[in-house]
Structure 1
Amino acid sequence: MENIPEQFAQLKELLTEYFDSNLDYYKFSAFEKLIRFTVALCLTSLFFLLAMFALLFFGFGTAVWLTDILKSEILGYVATGVLFLILIGLIYLLKSPLIERPLIRLFYKILYGQKQQD
């Protein structure tokens, strides 16, 4: 009977250590996932920014090329605008398989996927 208070004190210490170690683990896990998510978000943003610049220059190139073909600068730029509107419409219609699903898979893999071995 004399050991019961000591056992409760030991149990309290063990439980405190257990919860502290679990808290540290979950803090580290959340930090790691936050960093991986932030890096993926930055890389995705950089990719889309560079893709937008490429589309801008391809648009100007297409407009100049169509200007030579159509013999009218206005028609060249209007035709390029129409091509981009068609492209926007196609992307809007196919946004789920082209944009949403791959991004969801990417971020799911980052947040919940297995760690890759380096």
Structure 2
Amino acid sequence: MAFEELKENSENIQEQVGKFVDANIEYYKLHSFKIVMKSTTAILKFSLILFAVIMVLFFSSIALALVLGAYFCSFPLGFLTVGGIYVLIAIVLYLIRDKMVERPILEKFSGIFFNE
């Protein structure tokens, strides 16, 4: 009798362990899906905002180059001046790239992956 009760209990434990493993697998699938979707939507939002900013910057640059060209009485000089401004901005951004790029991206994606 004790052997049969023990056998029934072990079968019950095996069932419960199987259900537990299946539930954990489903949980981690959903958790992985959530992380992938949050990352994908964050990248998509960033890309759309970046595209809009680039378009504004492009047309503003052309307008500034035309204004400077009219001021200097030489349109090539106006475009060259705007190009020089962008070279200076690129140098400054290169010098401070760690503070502006790496840290915010690491903080954002660390929040997505580890806090939720």
Shorter-chain TM-score above 0.5:
yes
Q: Which has the larger radius of gyration?
A: 2
Q: Which amino acid aligns with 1:93?
A: L
Q: Runs of 4 or more off by more than 3 Å in structure 1?
A: none
RMSD: 1.2
CA distance in 1 between counterparts of 2:33 and 2:62 reads: 44
Q: Secondary structure at the match of 1:3?
A: helix
The equivalences for 1:1-118 within 5 A come to: 1-114=3-116
Shift of 1:110: 2.0
In structure 2, the gaps of 5 or more residues are none
CA distance in 1 between counterparts of 2:71 and 2:115 reads: 51
CA distance in 2 between counterparts of 1:47 and 1:111 reads: 23
- 1:67-111 CA-to-partner distances (Å, cap 9, x unmatched) read 122111111011111111111111111111112211221222222
CA distance in 2 between counterparts of 1:38 and 1:96 reads: 23
CA distance in 1 between counterparts of 2:67 and 2:105 reads: 34
- Number of equivalences: 114
Instruction: Looking at secondary structure, tell me which structure has more helix per residue.
Output: 2
In structure 1, the gaps of 5 or more residues are none
In percent, how many aligned pairs have the same letter? 25
Which gives a bigger RCO, structure 1 or 2 (Cα 8 Å, sep 6+)? 1
CA distance in 2 between counterparts of 1:59 and 1:19 reads: 59
Q: Which amino acid aligns with 1:24?
A: E
Q: TM-score, normalised by structure 2?
A: 0.91
Q: Which amino acid aligns with 1:64?
A: L
